[in-house]
Amino acid sequence: MSTQDSGLQRGLKNRHIQLIAMGGAIGTGLFLGSAHVIQSAGPATILGYAICGFVAYLIMRQLGDMIVHEPVAGSLSYFSDKYWGPFAGFLAGWNYWILYVLVAMTELTAIATFIQYWWPMIPAWLIVLVFFTIVTVINLANVRFYGESEFWLAMIKVLAVISMILFGLYLLFSADANSTASIQNLWQHDGFFPHGFSGMFFMLAFMLFAFGGIELIGMTAAEAENPAKNIPKAINQVVWRILVFYVASLAIILSLVPWNQLQLGSLDQSPFVMIFNQLGISWAAHLLNFVILTAAISVYNSGMYGNSRMLYSLAIQGNAPQVFKRLNRQGVPIPAVIFSSTLIFGCVLLNYFVPEKALKNLMYVAVTGLVLNWALISLTHLRFIKQMKAQHIQRGYPALWSPLSNILVLIFIAMILYIMWQEGLKTSVMLIPVWIAVVYLMYRLLKPKAVE
């Protein structure tokens, strides 16, 4: 076993790992962000999420292939360094870290939106500050405590989505002649593609954000019990469950009320809550808002965990200041947690100065980091399989259709960048080479000997 694992404790069981990954992906992208997508794509939203979910599965299998071979902390950064080179590892680690700082800030902002559904008079920055404090404290505790907190937070939303699907089916099958509920709503109102195929195609970049976080399984590798067994099990089970949750739940709500009659005024509204309001079932809307709130807290909690472990891994590799590899007696990287949370605190300031634009801006910038992160996974995996074949090493959990799946993933990522460019997100796309250049500068400053 790698020395990467030496200080962390293997306190995460299979149920923790599955719910951490599921918790990372079922959040704002499904419950909140889908409002914007539905307005643009109509019922074709269902197909769009299915496509993104399938690509996410291919990427997870590629990451899982490397993790099962060597279950270490900060998996992507470690693998990029080992199979590609020092700068690739440096870039992968720091990109992952900044990505989850942005994801955490996005979820914190979403939490304020859900609280204001009940108490609109409370300022967003104050709500953000309260939940920022709570989640930081959770992550300063031992890993088993974190695992339990995330297990139950994620369990609430998973059970809620299942309940919503069942309740939606009941409303569909018990609907009378005067009801708007009908499965025909999926194709009757200007068709399945009401704005043409392009209406869905140009929303794929936004849908992709919904699956950001699923790769958190990689961050659990060094703290998982029996990773060779539990990691593949978690990947196989989590991905199809998430896909079912997204596709089934969206199909249900788009059947209950025609997509063009959904009263979605802005991005900062949940179609899941709004639809039950429209149907006059206010208790369901309030209950669902509570569930969506726990979903956002769960993703934030997972993001904070991933942040601290990546920073710890970067320090172990010599890619970050050595203070971040310090652990307390419970095996928690305290300095890494505190530093990550300090950056996330910027979300409080963002919500204080520009609360009306905070969520949208954070989502778009986070997609940029996610695209680069997924590209690095696929490219690193190509080098990994090349080395495994050269050394005639049998892999324990080979990726699906590789290397064809890697090519498919990279084509999809190039397509997402094209969509972002066409949809007025040129700044986000241009940020990628700028960000790589900034990281290279950091690399030269922190590791001058490596580039001489």
**One-letter amino acid identity for 306?**
G
**pLDDT value at position 268?**
54
Angle at 426 between CA 41 and CA 358, to 5 degrees: 70
The answer to whether the bond into 227 is cis (omega within 30° of 0) is: no
Give the span between the Cα atoms of 276 and 101, in whole angstroms: 33
Give the span between the Cα atoms of 351 and 225, in whole angstroms: 39
Residue 12 backbone dihedrals phi, psi, to 5 degrees: -100, 120
Cα pseudo-dihedral 219, 65, 94, 141, rounded to 10: 10
Give the span between the Cα atoms of 324 and 338, in whole angstroms: 10
Nearest to 319 by CA among 2, 93, 74, 67: 93
The full set of domain ranges for the chain reads 14-446
**One-letter amino acid identity for 397?**
Y
Burial class (CB in 10 A: 0-12, 13-18, 19+), 246: buried
Nearest to 420 by CA among 168, 208, 152, 154: 208
Whose tokens are 């292939």? That residue is: 65
Give the span between the Cα atoms of 231 and 214, in whole angstroms: 12
**pLDDT value at position 24?**
57
- pTM given for the model: 0.84
**CATH topology assigned to domain 14-446:** Amino acid/polyamine transporter I (1.20.1740)
Chain-centroid distance of CA 408 in Å reads 20
**pLDDT value at position 94?**
92
Contact between 194 and 270 (Cβ < 8 Å): no
**pLDDT value at position 26?**
66
Residue ranges in the chain whose pLDDT is less than 50: 1-6, 267, 450-452
Contact between 104 and 111 (Cβ < 8 Å): no
